[in-house]
């Protein structure tokens, strides 16, 4: 399928030489987060806040109302979000993690447990900052990266039931369902899984909260993969999903189609009031929540556009296209391909590089060095640990690299360049070396880490 839009505004991308990129890599000590945008040709680091706005969104932004309290833009946003989600209380925030922090500060207490299909890192961090334990219960199918099961983003219902009914059940303060499951290969969650989770939560009087960052993509995959939903529109699926939950936290930088924005949606008045108080103290008054009026108007328009079937069909199509080209290049991905990202199996591509020499990071560096492509390692650099002498203590279950696909930004020929670069990397795979850490910080080390190539085994 072709793109259901044409391009009105273009932005040049930087075209660099291999030797410039080699110099850049050395300058940043092989930490791709430290590259400047001008040094990157195709940036697949994140699909968050990196999409293109539509003409209708820009027009909505121009009519944004910057009144401090009670702006027209807030009511445009509120009306759209309340209609989509069905929640009575909708509080804007500047992005997803602000929504997490506010909701969790109010909902959680020290010693509580939050269960999830898989927490995104900031969701986990905010639960832990509130003194709670964030525990992941991904379904067993998620462990097999190659299998074609349609809903590998599901929560493990048996484990959920056991925990809720067991000795720790009374400590469970929330169940967070991340749709789609970014921490587990961008896989979708089925409506059946959401419904059964909601039933268990209701029986145990535990709120079920959607982490809805990619709700429209999840809805599209439901219409394609879940028989009972073949005749529904993505919008209908999304409306039903929100209504199964007691509330949501949303990063609108993904399926809100905006560069900045988010919100909290809730039905519980008391909880919403407590969140509102914290919102006013830390984000902004409850009718702007850290955003400009124009941002609220653009977010409202984005939330309406994102469930358009033609938009979602093309987005799934371009991900499937790149997935096929990547497989042809000889690189395995987490199957089946989702929509917001492809997760490359670097461990399998470089069996000669041990986890503590970071095969995923080696692939990310190769993609940059050879094609100017920036990606994100999701393996032992991100999740592993070493002792003070650098000996490995813990490695990640898989050595992956995420190619995140910004919305409405790159075309097929950009992705052809990604696939061609991967082909080159595969040809010389046996000669690719690993890395060792020369400096790191104790938390979230991947953002600031410094590394060196390991040239001898």
- 101 burial type by CB count under 10 A (0-12 exposed, 13-18 middle, 19+ buried): buried
- Which CB sits closer to ligand F0G, 122 or 267? 122
Is 297 catalytic? The answer is: no
Is 76 catalytic? The answer is: no
Catalytic residue among 120, 151, 358, 382: 120
- Which CB sits closer to ligand F0G, 112 or 211? 211
For the bound state, the minimum distance from the C-beta of residue 252 to ligand F0G, rounded and expressed in Å, comes to 7
For the bound state, the minimum distance from the C-beta of residue 411 to ligand F0G, rounded and expressed in Å, comes to 21
- Which CB sits closer to ligand F0G, 76 or 259? 259
Is 8 catalytic? The answer is: no
Residues in contact with ligand F0G by the rule CB under 6 A:
46, 48, 95-97, 120, 122-123, 178, 182, 211, 213, 251, 253, 262, 404
Angle, vertex CA 83, rays to CA 77 and CA 87, nearest 5: 95
Extended beta strands in 55-107, E state: 89-93
For the bound state, the minimum distance from the C-beta of residue 123 to ligand F0G, rounded and expressed in Å, comes to 6
C-beta nearest to ligand F0G: residue: 96
Question: DSSP code of 172?
Answer: E
Is 121 catalytic? The answer is: yes
- Which CB sits closer to ligand F0G, 251 or 287? 251
For the bound state, the minimum distance from the C-beta of residue 22 to ligand F0G, rounded and expressed in Å, comes to 26
Is 433 catalytic? The answer is: no
Catalytic residue among 2, 33, 68, 447: 68
For the bound state, the minimum distance from the C-beta of residue 147 to ligand F0G, rounded and expressed in Å, comes to 22
For the bound state, the minimum distance from the C-beta of residue 260 to ligand F0G, rounded and expressed in Å, comes to 8
Only one residue has tokens 């832990």, namely: 128
Catalytic residue among 34, 65, 121, 332: 121
What token pair was written down for 279? 């919102």
Long-range contacts of 315-322 (CB under 8 A, 24+ apart): 315/217, 315/220, 315/339, 315/405, 315/407, 316/217, 316/220, 316/221, 316/224, 317/1, 318/405, 318/412, 318/415, 319/405, 321/412, 321/415, 322/403, 322/405, 322/415, 322/418, 322/419
Is 213 catalytic? The answer is: yes
- Which CB sits closer to ligand F0G, 14 or 122? 122
Extended beta strands in 94-171, E state: 113-116, 133-136
- Which CB sits closer to ligand F0G, 249 or 432? 249
Catalytic residue among 213, 238, 245, 292: 213
For the bound state, the minimum distance from the C-beta of residue 250 to ligand F0G, rounded and expressed in Å, comes to 8
- 91 burial type by CB count under 10 A (0-12 exposed, 13-18 middle, 19+ buried): buried
Provide the angle, in degrees to the nearest 10, between the axes of the packed helices 191-203 and 157-165: 10
Is 119 catalytic? The answer is: no
Return d(Cα 368, Cα 372) in angstroms, integer. Answer: 4
- Which CB sits closer to ligand F0G, 121 or 313? 121
Return d(Cα 260, Cα 290) in angstroms, integer. Answer: 10
> Which residues touch 57 (CB under 8 Å, ≥6 apart)?
257, 258, 298, 301, 302, 305
Helix (H) or strand (E) holding 99: helix 96-107
For the bound state, the minimum distance from the C-beta of residue 179 to ligand F0G, rounded and expressed in Å, comes to 8
Return d(Cα 143, Cα 270) in angstroms, integer. Answer: 39
Q: What is the DSSP string of 363-382?
A: HHHHHHHHH-EE-EEESHHH
- Which CB sits closer to ligand F0G, 97 or 152? 97
Catalytic residue among 76, 94, 119, 254: 254
Return d(Cα 450, Cα 233) in angstroms, integer. Answer: 47
How many Cα atoms occupy the beta-carbon half-sphere of 395 within 13 Å?
16
Active site (catalytic) residues: 68, 120-121, 211, 213, 254, 446
């Amino acid at each position: 399928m072709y793109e259901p839009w044409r391009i009105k505004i273009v932005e040049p991308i930087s075209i660099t030489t291999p030797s410039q990129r080699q110099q850049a890599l050395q300058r940043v000590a092989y930490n791709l987060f430290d590259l400047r945008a001008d040094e990157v040709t195709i940036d697949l680091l994140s699909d968050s806040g990196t999409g293109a706005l539509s003409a209708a969104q820009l027009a909505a932004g121009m009519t944004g109302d910057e009144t401090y309290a009670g702006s027209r833009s807030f009511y445009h946003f509120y009306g759209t979000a309340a209609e989509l989600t069905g929640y009575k209380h909708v509080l804007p925030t500047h992005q997803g993690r602000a929504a997490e922090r506010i909701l969790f500060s109010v909902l959680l207490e020290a010693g509580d447990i939050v269960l999830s299909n898989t927490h995104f890192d900031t969701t986990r961090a905010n639960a832990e900052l509130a003194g709670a334990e964030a525990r992941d219960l991904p379904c067993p199918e998620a462990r097999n990266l190659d299998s074609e099961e349609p809903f590998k983003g599901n929560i493990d219902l048996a484990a959920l039931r056991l925990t809720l009914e067991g000795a720790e059940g009374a400590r469970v303060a929330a169940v967070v369902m991340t749709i789609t499951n970014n921490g587990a290969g961008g896989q979708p969650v089925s409506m059946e899984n959401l419904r059964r989770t909601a039933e268990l939560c209701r029986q145990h009087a535990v709120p079920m909260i959607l982490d809805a960052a990619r709700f429209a993509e999840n809805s599209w995959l439901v219409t394609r993969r879940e028989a009972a939903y073949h005749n529904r529109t993505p919008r209908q699926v999304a409306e039903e999903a929100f209504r199964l939950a007691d509330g949501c936290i949303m990063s609108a930088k993904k399926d809100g189609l905006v560069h900045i924005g988010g919100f909290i949606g809730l039905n519980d008045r008391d909880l919403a009031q407590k969140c509102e108080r914290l919102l006013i103290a830390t984000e902004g008054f409850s009718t702007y929540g850290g955003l400009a009026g124009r941002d609220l108007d653009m977010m409202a328009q984005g939330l309406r556009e994102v469930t358009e079937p033609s938009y979602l069909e093309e987005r799934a199509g371009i991900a499937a296209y790149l997935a096929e080209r990547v497989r042809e290049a000889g690189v395995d991905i987490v199957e089946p391909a989702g929509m917001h990202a492809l997760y490359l199996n670097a461990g399998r591509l470089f069996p000669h590089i041990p986890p503590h020499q970071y095969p995923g990071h080696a692939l990310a560096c190769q993609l940059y060095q050879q094609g100017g492509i920036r990606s994100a390692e999701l393996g032992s650099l991100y999740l592993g640990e070493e002792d003070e002498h650098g000996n490995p203590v813990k490695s990640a279950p898989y050595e992956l690299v995420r190619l995140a696909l910004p919305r409405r930004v790159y075309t097929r020929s950009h992705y052809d360049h990604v696939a061609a670069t991967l082909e080159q990397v595969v040809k010389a795979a046996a000669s690719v070396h690993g890395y060792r850490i020369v400096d790191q910080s104790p938390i979230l080390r991947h953002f600031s880490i410094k590394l060196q190539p390991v040239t001898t085994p």
